[in-house]
Structure 1
Amino acid sequence: MDSEQRKPLLNRKDKRNLTLLLCIILTFTVMNGTMFNVAIPDIAEEFNLLPSQVSWVMTGYILVFAIGSLMYGKLADLFPIKRLLTIGIILFASGATLGLFSPNYSVLLTARILQAMGGATIPALAFIIPARFMPEDRARVFGIVSATVAFASGLGPITGGLVGGAFNWRYLFILSILSLIAIPFLRKWLPNEERKKGTVDVLGALLIAGSITGLLVFVTTFNFIGLIGGFIAFCLFIWRVKTFHSPFIEPAMLKNKYYTATIATSFLGTSAMFGMIFVVPIMARTIYDLDTVQIGLLLFPGAMAAGLIGQYGGKLVQQKGSYPVLRLAFVMVIIGSMLISTFIGFPPYLMALCILVQYMAFPLIQSSTANLLTELVPANRTGVGIGMFNLMNFLSGAISSAVFGALLDLEHIRFQINPFASNGEFAIYSNLFIGLTLISAIALIMFTLVFRHRLVDNKAKANF
């Protein structure tokens, strides 16, 4: 058996240690993406910035992070994961150190981009490591990783509000610097791998990066130059895929209807989740007049519940399979969105319970989708296959935030779509959550229709 076919596996103790360590550094990374949201006003005040300027503290980070999640996925098919993670964490901590002492906005923006360049390795590889080194436990570990992402996304705003309020927004970078502690343990517990044969299509990578950049610039700033530039880059990328012998993304993968349907439904489901996380803080401030910490506490029960159910959800995927769990998750998003739409204006504790229902679906969508992708994608393309999954997740966050942000400007709307909602004064928020309900319903229908034959085949095999 050659080196490319050998799969270095982990013993039980190393699996447990590595999973725990991945969750810790993943928590730092995800929180780093959300806890700076609450610091934006303070940063703008310190450096005397306009809203359009300071927004790039988040936009630039998301942009590089999204592209990096795909790039590192592709690189993981060729280079040892241990090496990629080491480089990524060093870049992540270096950017944080630069941000901690940044004397001006330009240095701060450079620090955030450097952080994103390194931080993108962690969520990208956190889903690849179980698929490669823990195949028999991958569904369970996917559940734990997804639960960590959901929990950290809710913990980020609270941490940002507490640290930024008690000290200074610069101290938020210290949490990222602490990730350096993980390097020696990762190098000890991750198996050694050899450099695999193959080359990186650099031009193809640059073209796909350009198309994603153009799209994100358009959805975050509504600048049509970005949209045109992204479209041109995407057309050139398609040309590259058709003409180059080893393109960055294999066309056969994109022609697989099950793979593309899984990515598309995950995109829609995650859009609904990020849409909820984006709209709720604005709604809580407008309707309930909650401060930053109180808004974090409104989301916190859902984040805690997601963290708990994610671990159980991974075991459920392992026992029942990805298909029923993913469909259950979409049903939960539909119910949660409908409940929020109906009970807007009711006391915050009731709203927290409605949010909890939808929040619990997040790790189930992530873990079942990641597990399903490992079944659909050949082992030698797992990296880029899951890289596309991560990329679409980050794109869904950026796009849903931009779209719902624009819709929230229509505050004068009083027409209410939901017949069960009692307060027409909050119609715009109620209608937005009806929109999230429809998005989730479309994802559920699409997934069921595409996979119906595959589900029948699986049931026949099970009966046989």
Structure 2
Amino acid sequence: MSASHAATGRVAEGGVTAAPGGALSRGLRIGLLFGPTVFGVTAAGVALPQVSAALEAGSAAVAWVLIAHALALGVGTALFGRFADSWGVRTSLLAGSAVLAVGAIACVAAPNLGVLVAGRLLLATGSGAMAAGGLALLAMTAPELRARCLAVYGAVMAVFAAAAPLLGGLVTAWPSWRATVALPVLSLLAVPFCLPLVTRPGSGQRIDYAGAAALAGAAGALLVAIQSGTLGLPGPVAIGLAAVALLLGAWVLRRKDGFVPRPVVADRRFVLAMVIGVGIFGGLFATMYAVPQLLAREYGWSVLEVGAALLPGAVVGAVGSRMAGSLTARWGRTVLAGVAAAAGLTLGYAGLAGGGPWPVVVGAALGLAAFAVAQVVLTAEMSGRIPPPQRGAGMGLLNLTFFVGGGAGSAICGALAGPLGLTAALAVVAVFPLVAAVVAVASR
């Protein structure tokens, strides 16, 4: 089908009018909207040593620069996924743009770590709106264009993942780490080009705000419980927080027609995709927390050297994600499992056997590659599997799980770094990508 024919629009699955534009144009625009969200972790992680020094904060404390971002990005994606279904993608993107801009200003002007973390919460919430909008626009793509659109989107996402470590190093070196932690604001440049792709109005359905708040509370309580030792919280408080997380999560799941759509979470394939994503994101976030600090402290590497060293592995992810996008679901998961297993084994070796900086660098680079491949494989599978009326909520919930898993990975690594050291902590969090690899192979 030609791009001009596609531009005339048609009724796609579920009675949704396909948005205008060819697959190449759509995939590029959506990728540019979603892509800068990866800078919140992969670029910001490179700047953590400078954040720690400038704000006089310990390594465990600065982990919250990534943990808070992961939590708010997941919650923002899930919440704005619901907003996109109810209000329409256009309104959701515009509202999210305002939140993103305010968060970026707060990050750049932050006088201390507390304000920086608060700014990152706002920044990530707005970035979640960009992610949710991108996922909704992918869902609006006509079925006959979706495969190619996803391939282009995946290639763009991989380019962002590949560029993030080096860009983080360059921006941290000049002008400042403050600009690095606010890089997700670049999504705003793509918003005007994505608004014309919106053709489906909002459904006007009621949004379960109580369920959204409870789900956010459950995720936050879980992450604080994991970090309880680092935060100096007594054991009973940590146990209480974990119990609160479980109770709130159970309450949300029991609500009929609530924030979490029951038919979606009852789908076994959806649950397995959640587990795979948690493993990939948990390993990557933990690695991007530990590796830049480890290389800077123990080997004296500069932020530019760290970024440049991670670039080749991210390029491998760009190639792998492009290849995975053209494969069937079975073989796409095989590629994903292979890259995740390689990342986990390398990190485990680096943590247990040492061997200098390069095993650590290779493990981190493979983690970036696994992230890029997972973006394409899991998005393609689930966006086509979830029914259109629940797609915004379902994809938002899926990404919430991924990012909370990422935050948990960072929190666990930060909690273990004190008693064990960063190198040994990496060996422990290597379990995350290894579990993802096993589940990806078993669920093909």
Q: Which band: TM-score by shorter chain?
A: 0.7 to 0.9
**Residues 412 and 20 of structure 1, relative CA distance in 2, 3 Å threshold:** closer
In structure 1, stretches of 5+ residues that fail to align are 414-425, 449-464
Q: In the alignment, is the contact (CA less than 8 A) between 2:38 and 2:184 conserved in 1?
A: no
Which secondary structure state, in structure 2, belongs to the residue aligned with residue 78 of structure 1?
Answer: helix
Q: What's the CA shift string for 1:380-417, capped at 9, x where partnerless?
A: 1111211122112112211122223444456589xxxx
Equivalent residue number for residue 201 of structure 1: 208
Give 1:330 shift: 0.6
Distance 1:16 1:377 in 2: 24
Equivalent residue number for residue 335 of structure 1: 342
Residue 373 in structure 1 maps to residue 369 in structure 2: no
* Stretch of structure 1 that moved more, 74-83 or 292-301: 74-83
Residue 322 in structure 1 maps to residue 333 in structure 2: no
**Residues 261 and 93 of structure 1, relative CA distance in 2, 3 Å threshold:** same
Counting only pairs closer than 5 Å after superposition, residues 220-235 of structure 1 correspond to structure 2 as 220-222=227-229, 223=233, 225=237, 228-229=240-241, 231-232=243-244, 234-235=246-247
Q: In the alignment, is the contact (CA less than 8 A) between 2:212 and 2:259 conserved in 1?
A: yes
Distance 2:376 2:399 in 1: 12
Give 1:285 shift: 4.3
1:214 is matched with which residue: 218, 221, 230?
221
**Residues 365 and 219 of structure 1, relative CA distance in 2, 3 Å threshold:** same
Q: In the alignment, is the contact (CA less than 8 A) between 1:337 and 1:436 conserved in 2?
A: yes
RMSD over aligned CA atoms reads 3.6
Counting only pairs closer than 5 Å after superposition, residues 76-91 of structure 1 correspond to structure 2 as 76-91=84-99
Structure number with the bigger relative contact order (C-alpha 8 A, sep ≥ 6) is: 2
* Stretch of structure 1 that moved more, 432-441 or 371-380: 432-441
For residue 329 of structure 1, what is the amino acid of its counterpart?
A: L
Residue 122 in structure 1 maps to residue 134 in structure 2: no
Q: In the alignment, is the contact (CA less than 8 A) between 2:286 and 2:410 conserved in 1?
A: yes
Q: In the alignment, is the contact (CA less than 8 A) between 2:77 and 2:125 conserved in 1?
A: no
Equivalent residue number for residue 73 of structure 1: 81
Q: In the alignment, is the contact (CA less than 8 A) between 1:322 and 1:372 conserved in 2?
A: yes
Equivalent residue number for residue 411 of structure 2: 402
Equivalent residue number for residue 167 of structure 1: 175
Give 1:158 shift: 2.8
Distance 2:239 2:161 in 1: 29
Give 1:300 shift: 0.6
Give 1:430 shift: 8.4
Give 1:339 shift: 4.7
Residue 262 in structure 1 maps to residue 277 in structure 2: no
Give 1:349 shift: 6.7
Give 1:296 shift: 1.4
Give 1:84 shift: 0.9
**Residues 399 and 53 of structure 1, relative CA distance in 2, 3 Å threshold:** closer
Which secondary structure state, in structure 2, belongs to the residue aligned with residue 246 of structure 1?
Answer: coil
2:313 is matched with which residue: 290, 293, 302?
302
Equivalent residue number for residue 453 of structure 1: none
For residue 152 of structure 1, what is the amino acid of its counterpart?
A: F
Q: In the alignment, is the contact (CA less than 8 A) between 1:26 and 1:122 conserved in 2?
A: yes
Equivalent residue number for residue 5 of structure 2: none
Give 1:32 shift: 3.4
Q: In the alignment, is the contact (CA less than 8 A) between 1:44 and 1:54 conserved in 2?
A: yes
Q: In the alignment, is the contact (CA less than 8 A) between 2:264 and 2:270 conserved in 1?
A: yes
Distance 2:87 2:408 in 1: 31
Residue 447 in structure 1 maps to residue 443 in structure 2: yes
**Residues 278 and 210 of structure 1, relative CA distance in 2, 3 Å threshold:** same
Q: What's the CA shift string for 1:336-358, capped at 9, x where partnerless?
A: 43356557666767876666555
**Residues 429 and 58 of structure 1, relative CA distance in 2, 3 Å threshold:** closer
Q: In the alignment, is the contact (CA less than 8 A) between 2:77 and 2:129 conserved in 1?
A: yes
Distance 2:145 2:307 in 1: 33
Which secondary structure state, in structure 2, belongs to the residue aligned with residue 313 of structure 1?
Answer: helix
Give 1:42 shift: 4.2
Q: In the alignment, is the contact (CA less than 8 A) between 2:218 and 2:248 conserved in 1?
A: no
**Residues 140 and 352 of structure 1, relative CA distance in 2, 3 Å threshold:** farther
Which secondary structure state, in structure 2, belongs to the residue aligned with residue 77 of structure 1?
Answer: helix
Distance 1:386 1:370 in 2: 8
Distance 1:43 1:274 in 2: 17
Residue 391 in structure 1 maps to residue 403 in structure 2: no
